[in-house]
Amino acid sequence: MRIKRNLHRPVIKLEQRDGVLQVVGGNSWHSYFRDPYHLLLTIPWIGFVGIVVGFDIFLNAVFAVLYLLDANAIAGIPKVGFMEAFFFSVQTLASIGYGVMNPQTLYANLLVTLESIASLMLFAVITGIAFTRFAKSSSRVMFSRVATIHNYNGMPTLMFRAANERRNNILEAKLSVYLMIDEVTEEGQMMRRLHELKLVREHSPVFLLSWTVMHTIDQSSPLYGLTLESMERLHAQVLVSLTGVDETVEGTLHARHFYAARNLMFDRRFVDVIHMGNDGHRYLDYTYFHETIAI
């Protein structure tokens, strides 16, 4: 019995980049050549336009050759060559119809019928994909470059910052934080495990400007007892996932960020970004968003 492989690439390379374990070639548009739909959704706009234009030229060239198979297919001009047949196909495919050239044989009319059906399908697909590309909700959430671990209210606490760069409301924002580490079972099998980190506050009804995320490292925390050296040895990563509703476009947005072990700063805290002005109002200064100081 032959087993069918579900993966296009049976071997996938994993690489440590800046302390973060990443899939080589993953989550990039050029990894979707076997999946045209995802390719057209993820490729840059210039590539999308290039594919559409190239396919349109190719399709019109194919129909031009088919029209030339019948010497009397097109009426309205004295001599029909490839360029004339090509531009007749362009007019047919785009439903332009200037009224100069027209099909005059049964064969030509059948080709026009086939091309008109192809044009309906082609434009429907292109319009749908273009709309999906425009309608995709994209997040502009910034995370602090480092996370800190220091005492807060007498308990060791993991902290990092998140900010909404668009300055609009993200409704019902929810943060989930996980610790990813290598573990070895009692049987000696190595596994990549995912442990959820319980947050002091994981939900915000309105996320507008800045959010300081905190996880208390008590005896129930997966981080309890870990040092920087042990986390590097276990290839530890902190995965942050944020979801919410963009009030402007009323669409769900997603943002994520990774903190490698080298991005965890012990016995340091973030510099305050909120201060009182001389006019009595509060100001949030993003100049120091990523800055930390020793405790």
The pLDDT, as a whole number, for residue 287 is 87
Convert the pLDDT of each residue in 147-172 to its tens digit.
999 999 999 999 999 998 887 888 99
- Among candidates 293, 244, 260, 264, which has minimal Cα distance to 160? 264
Q: Are residues 164 and 140 in contact, defined by beta-carbon separation less than 8 angstroms?
A: yes
Domain with CATH 2.60.40.1400 in the chain: 141-294
Supply the angle between the helices 82-93 and 106-135 in degrees, to the nearest 10: 60
Domain with CATH 1.10.287.70 in the chain: 44-135
Convert the pLDDT of each residue in 223-249 to its tens digit.
999 888 999 888 899 999 999 998 887
CATH 3.40.1350.10 is right for the domain spanning 141-294: no
Q: Check whether 57 has a pLDDT greater than 50.
A: yes
Domain 44-135, architecture per CATH: Orthogonal Bundle (1.10)
Q: Check whether 26 has a pLDDT greater than 70.
A: no
